[in-house]
Structure formats: structure tokens, C-alpha cells
Amino acid sequence: MYLGVDLGGTAIKVGLCDVEGNLLSTYEGPTGTEHGSDVVLENIAQYARKIVSESAYTWEQVAGVGAGIAGFMDIPEGFIKLSPNLGWRNVPVKRILEEKLGKPVKIDNDANVAALGEAWAGAGKGYNNLVCYTLGTGVGGGIIVGGRIYQGFNGMAGELGHIPLVPDLEAVDCGCGKKGCLETVSSATGIIRMAKEAVERGEHTSLALVESIMAKDVFDAAKTGDETAIRIINRAALYLGKSMAIVSVIVNPQRFIVGGGVSKAGDILFEAIRKYYRECAQETSQEGVDIVPAILGNDAGIVGAAGLNLRS
Amino acid sequence: MYLGVDLGGTAIKVGLCDVEGNLLSTYEGPTGTEHGSDVVLENIAQYARKIVSESAYTWEQVAGVGAGIAGFMDIPEGFIKLSPNLGWRNVPVKRILEEKLGKPVKIDNDANVAALGEAWAGAGKGYNNLVCYTLGTGVGGGIIVGGRIYQGFNGMAGELGHIPLVPDLEAVDCGCGKKGCLETVSSATGIIRMAKEAVERGEHTSLALVESIMAKDVFDAAKTGDETAIRIINRAALYLGKSMAIVSVIVNPQRFIVGGGVSKAGDILFEAIRKYYRECAQETSQEGVDIVPAILGNDAGIVGAAGLNLRS
């Protein structure tokens, strides 16, 4: 059995998986971010023991624990350098959790872990070469080769949200300090920004009636035929499709998997991504290649984290 | 001992390597392209036996034969689907050469093979995560992970020349059928095109006096301070640096190696590439990452081909 931990800023989700990546049970509790890293790591340990004690399995049957965390980290060392949403700097997560739990612990960033979850037990099952996008507040990415996360030289591979591709004239600043990154357009933040700008420009759109626009409002408006909303989703899809054309000549995956909140826009988003991919990608990168939604939803992070000890 | 074959349109180069990638001897003979694939493959077999018989080694000591070929191929099957410069369609190179030579044969495309040569015994020796550019008539690429060529789903990984990145307003048609690919600017062909356009526009440049401009003429003019030539090389470097910034967020290599004829432009090219890379790449993709010239020159293809049986 493998334990997976999805460590978020407000909630810790813990799951128990078998060796096939089947999620047998889950538990969710508060992170306790405000109490600092010691308390958060103790919470993880408690939730982990709790979920096992309430299951049909014993603690001895747990072969390893994995955790997905947003932030910059030294993955082999299991060391968080900086996690803005937890407010952490230099926290040796692997060492502390191994002491508390007496099990091997591995950590990785949240987007890589979600990609591994989909590869292991989700939309990528059985595929050797996969690229996963997680469209949330930002755009995360993960590259899976032979069932394992491809890390690159210092763990920065698959940072798909920071592919610079918006033309200079239309590019806006990205949180990373550069301009024109994919996530300035194709994340929830990018979609909300474009919607607010359209309203401010006085476009005739039902979004003008929404008090505090969320990405979901834009999807809902698009489904009722709102032209502004459709144009915004198209623009998010355009850069996703272009980025996939770029990714395809570099890593040549067989399947692109798209998950995260923004992927819930559904067919209107996926059909547009596929159209732009067909337009932009080399023919040789299209035959036998598809673009599909993630299927594990919020569980991808737990399942992938559980898989870290088996598949990294 | 391993035999490497660099199969070009006019010459076949054969080399004998030891298990460390040291090139012990080479032989070069005409390809005989005009006589068709049967004759070409027989020529390879003859040159291979010749180089071994003239060496201190016996045919029995040859563990395998590898060949680098320009074209579209099924790499695992060793089958050339289409090689425009050889005029081949559907040639089962691996099967025929294995019959002729009685040794295991592997093939790969010329850019991948050059990358493997540099990784094994050249500028990438000892590096785990490498990306190699070959700047020739086109722009070829190869991604090396753990000393092996990263192929992707159908062998199309590392096609760096077809990263689409020139803005629409300045993009020209690429041989691949798309527009704005890296190789439309940063190949010898791209440099010659830009030089001819500058002369046609009536720019004040010493290139106007050159009858049939070659890439080398542009480098020579740049070295004498010709502003048009410097601007052209800068533009080639700009898109190389931008492409490396893109590659770095996707595969996160530790080292970029740049070889091929255009790389002979030397410092003026490399300094500009490094400047644009610094401007465009994420900070986390810069620390400990460098951009260096290839060191094996024309031998990279033979050495890498020899390595195919050991490292693919």
C-alpha cells in the first residue's frame, strides 16, 4: 500500500492506494498553515496514521509515503526551498516526515504529481509518453516518460505555464518576472483578467452583470452563447494548442492530458484546443496523438503522490 | 568495438570506435546515391569491412553497427520511410545491413546521432541532461537523457528546427509546410536568405559584392564589422536563444551544445545566443546551465552512430 498526500494551503488530503493506483480511501483535514511547518507536518503524520488505522490494512503494509506540494524544491533531497502558499522557506519535509512516520518519503511539485496520477491510474494509463497540463490559478505541467516523472537537470522540466509564446504586442507580465507566458492567458487568472478587461472596455457581454467574475462565470456565459466569453475561451485554447505544437516537436508525446479547474469548461475548450493544435502542429506530431481531459479530478494529486515511491 | 556510419548524399563516412567513444580510424567513400539503395547499402558494407580489415582489430571484435541518416524513419524497425536527399522510400536498412554484415544494426536520424556523439565523447561527456542543436542547411536537434537519445512517441522528439517562434508578421514559409519555424532564421539557409534580402533592399553591406552568398561570407563580413552581417547573425542568435528558453522550461537541460556549420561563426554567435538566453529564460533554468560549442565537428555523426548499439 502507498500513502499519498496532497498538501494544500487550506486542506491536507491523504489517500491510500494499492500498487495499481486504485484509491481505496481518502481523508481530508485542515492544513493549519498559520501554525507553521512543524504543526503542518505533524498534521500530515496524524492524518496518515488515521486513514490507515481506519482501513482494512495495517501500518506495516504501507511501503511508502509521497507528497505533492506547490513551490520550489530540491526533489531528490525532499527539501522545500520556498512555498509561497504555505509560507515555507527551507523545510526538510522528507527528513521530518521519515522521522515521524518511519517510512520512505518522497515529495514532488503538485503539477508533476497530478501528471503522475493521471499516467498511473487516469487518462494516461498504458501510455509511455505523456504531457499533462493542470489549468488552475496558474498553468502547471508534467512530462511522464515510461510511467515516470521527467525531472530534467534541476527539477524544472515540464514548467509548461512558463512557455513564452504570447506575441510582444499582446503580452502581459507573468508572476515569474517574464512576459507572455502561457499562464498569463490560459489559467483561471488569465481568463478572469481577460473577462474583466472586456467588461472595462464596455463590451456587450453578460459578464458585465457578474459582481466578482470567476473562470466558471466565463464558461457559463460561453455556454449561453455570449460572444465575449467564447472569444476569451478561444484565446485560452489558442495558446494551449500552440504550446502543445511547441511541446510536440520537443518531447513528442502520444497524448496530452488537460486537467484542473479550467478544464471543466469542457467541449468548448477542448474542441478549440484540438483545432489550434491541428493548425499549428507538424503533421508527424498529429498522427496517433490526442488531447483528452484528465479523469481523476481532484484525486490526481493524491494518487500521483502515492505513486512517487513506486514510480519515480 | 563499434562501427559508426554517417550516410550522406555524396559520401559515406565510416568510423571504428572503442567502448569509450574514442574514434580509432575513419574511412570515407562515395555514396553512389545515383545507383539506388541496393548499391549504397553494399557500399556501406564494403567500407565497413575495409576499415576493420585495415585496423588492428578483427571483424569478430565488432559488437554492432550504427548509421545516422537524414530522413523520416521508423527507428525501432530500422526502416527508412522517406529520405529526400538519398531519394529513398521504404528501405529496410536494418534488415539488409544485418544480412550483409552479420552484426546488430541500429539507425537513427542524423541530428539525434550527432547529439549522441557529443554526449558520449564530446562537449556533453558526463552530463545527464543535454540538448544539442545542429545548425546546417536546416536546424536539427537531439535530446539526450541519461546518455541516451530521447525519442518520444514516434521518434519525432528533438525536432528543434521546427519550434514555431517567429512572430506572424515576420514569419516566412518553412520546408515543413508551417511558417515561422526556428530553421527559417537560424540555419545556413535562413542566414543566406536574410543576407540576400538585405542586399536586394540595397543595404550598405560588403555582402553586396559577393556573387553567391554562403553563410560563411556572412560570418566573415561580421568579423570585419559589417553591420548588416552582424544584424543577421544577431537575429539567428535571438531565435536560438528564445528557442532555448522555451526548451528549458519543457526539458530543463543542464547544457546546450551547438554544432554544425553555422556554429563556426564562433564567439559573435555564441555571445549573442547567451545574451538572449539570459533575457528570455527563467532564472531557475539559468543557474548551472551553459551553452557551448560542439567539439567533435564532422566526427560527431560517426561517433554517435557507433554509440547507437551501446546507448540507445
Q: What pLDDT does residue A85 have?
A: 85
Quick one: pLDDT band at residue B311, thresholds 50, 70, 90?
Answer: confident
Closest CA in chain B for residue A251: B157
Any idea of the CA torsion for B196, B169, B270, A175, to the nearest 10 degrees?
Answer: 170
**Shortest alpha-carbon distance between residue B130 and chain A (Å):** 9
Looking at chain B, list the stretches that DSSP marks H as alpha helix, in order from N- to C-terminal side: 37-53, 93-101, 110-121, 183-186, 188-200, 215-223, 227-251, 267-280, 300-307
Asked if residue B312 has pLDDT above 80, the reply is: no
Going from the C-alpha of B135 to that of each of A122, B147, B157, the distances in angstroms are: 40, 21, 17
**Shortest alpha-carbon distance between residue A74 and chain B (Å):** 12
- Whether the CB of B158 is below 8 Å from some CB of chain A: the reply is yes
Question: For residues B117 and B299, is the Cβ–Cβ distance under 8 A?
Answer: yes
Question: For residues A159 and B249, is the Cβ–Cβ distance under 8 A?
Answer: yes
Give the number of C-alpha atoms closer than 13 A to the C-alpha of residue A134, restricted to the C-beta side. Answer: 26
- Among residues A244, A305, A254, the alpha carbon closest in space to that of A279 is found at A244
CA–CA dist A177, A247 (Å, integer): 22
Tell me if B250 and A157 make a contact (CB, 8 A cut-off).
yes
Tell me if A152 and B129 make a contact (CB, 8 A cut-off).
yes
**Shortest alpha-carbon distance between residue B294 and chain A (Å):** 19
CA–CA dist A81, A37 (Å, integer): 13
Please give the grid coordinates belonging to residue A283.
503533421
CA–CA dist B72, B79 (Å, integer): 9
**Cβ contacts from A onto B, under 8 A:** 122
Q: What is the pLDDT of residues A213-265, one digit of tens each?
A: 999 999 999 999 999 999 999 999 999 999 999 999 999 999 999 999 999 99
Quick one: pLDDT band at residue B284, thresholds 50, 70, 90?
Answer: confident
- Mean pLDDT, chain B, rounded, equals 96
Asked if residue A179 has pLDDT above 80, the reply is: yes
Strand partners, B179: B173
Give the number of C-alpha atoms closer than 13 A to the C-alpha of residue A89, restricted to the C-beta side. Answer: 0
Q: What pLDDT does residue A66 have?
A: 98
Tell me if A287 and B154 make a contact (CB, 8 A cut-off).
yes
Q: How far is CA B51 from the centre of its chain?
A: 24
Minimum-distance CB partner of B156 among A152, A242, A252? A252
Q: What pLDDT does residue A284 have?
A: 87
Please give the grid coordinates belonging to residue B215.
553563410
CA–CA dist A142, A296 (Å, integer): 15
CA–CA dist A171, A176 (Å, integer): 13
Coil/strand/helix, residue B260: coil
Tell me if A153 and B72 make a contact (CB, 8 A cut-off).
no
- Whether the CB of A171 is below 8 Å from some CB of chain B: the reply is no
**What's B173's DSSP letter?**
B
Most B CBs within 10 A among A132, A250, A289, hence the mutation to make, goes to A250
Looking at B54-130, list the stretches that DSSP marks H as alpha helix, in order from N- to C-terminal side: 93-101, 110-121
Q: What pLDDT does residue A84 have?
A: 87
**What's B218's DSSP letter?**
H
Please give the grid coordinates belonging to residue B300.
560527431
Strand partners, B108: B68
Asked if residue A312 has pLDDT above 80, the reply is: no
As a whole number, mean pLDDT of residues A91-101 equals 98
Helix (H) / strand (E) element for B17: namely strand B11-17
Most B CBs within 10 A among A144, A160, A251, A283, hence the mutation to make, goes to A251
Any idea of the CA torsion for B302, B303, B308, B309, to the nearest 10 degrees?
Answer: 110
**Shortest alpha-carbon distance between residue B126 and chain A (Å):** 13
**Shortest alpha-carbon distance between residue B111 and chain A (Å):** 13
Tell me if B156 and A242 make a contact (CB, 8 A cut-off).
no
- Whether the CB of A284 is below 8 Å from some CB of chain B: the reply is yes
Q: What pLDDT does residue B303 have?
A: 98
CA–CA dist A242, A244 (Å, integer): 5
Minimum-distance CB partner of A251 among B157, B167, B285? B157
Q: What pLDDT does residue A265 have?
A: 94
Burial class of residue B171 in the structure, from the number of CB atoms within 10 Å of its CB (0-12 exposed, 13-18 middle, 19+ buried): middle
Tell me if B285 and A156 make a contact (CB, 8 A cut-off).
yes
Coil/strand/helix, residue A259: strand
**Shortest alpha-carbon distance between residue A195 and chain B (Å):** 25
Please give the grid coordinates belonging to residue B267.
564567439
Asked if residue A2 has pLDDT above 80, the reply is: yes
**Looking at beta carbons, which residues of chain A come within 8 Å of B242?**
164
Quick one: pLDDT band at residue A100, thresholds 50, 70, 90?
Answer: very high
Q: What is the pLDDT of residues B58-111, one digit of tens each?
A: 999 999 999 999 988 999 999 999 998 899 999 999 999 999 999 999 999 999
CA–CA dist A130, A244 (Å, integer): 12
* Residue numbers of B between 10 and 69 with CB closer than 8 Å to A: none
Minimum-distance CB partner of B251 among A155, A251, A283? A251
| CATH architecture classification, A126-294 | 2-Layer Sandwich (3.30)
DSSP structure string for A148-179: EE---SSS-TT-GGG-B-S-GGG--B-TTS-B
Q: What pLDDT does residue A311 have?
A: 78
Closest CA in chain A for residue B145: A152
- Among residues B83, B57, B46, the alpha carbon closest in space to that of B68 is found at B83
Please give the grid coordinates belonging to residue A171.
503580452
Instruction: Domain B125-294: state its class.
Output: alpha beta
Minimum-distance CB partner of B163 among A159, A249, A283? A249
Question: Where in the sequence of chain B do the CATH 3.30.420.40 domains occur?
Answer: 2-116+299-307, 125-294
Q: What pLDDT does residue B85 have?
A: 85
The share of chain B scoring above pLDDT 90, in percent, equals 95
- Whether the CB of B252 is below 8 Å from some CB of chain A: the reply is yes
CA–CA dist A165, A187 (Å, integer): 14
The Cα angle at residue A129 between residues B128 and A21, in degrees rounded to 5: 105
The share of chain A scoring above pLDDT 70, in percent, equals 100
Tell me if B164 and A280 make a contact (CB, 8 A cut-off).
yes
CATH of domain A2-116+299-307: 3.30.420.40
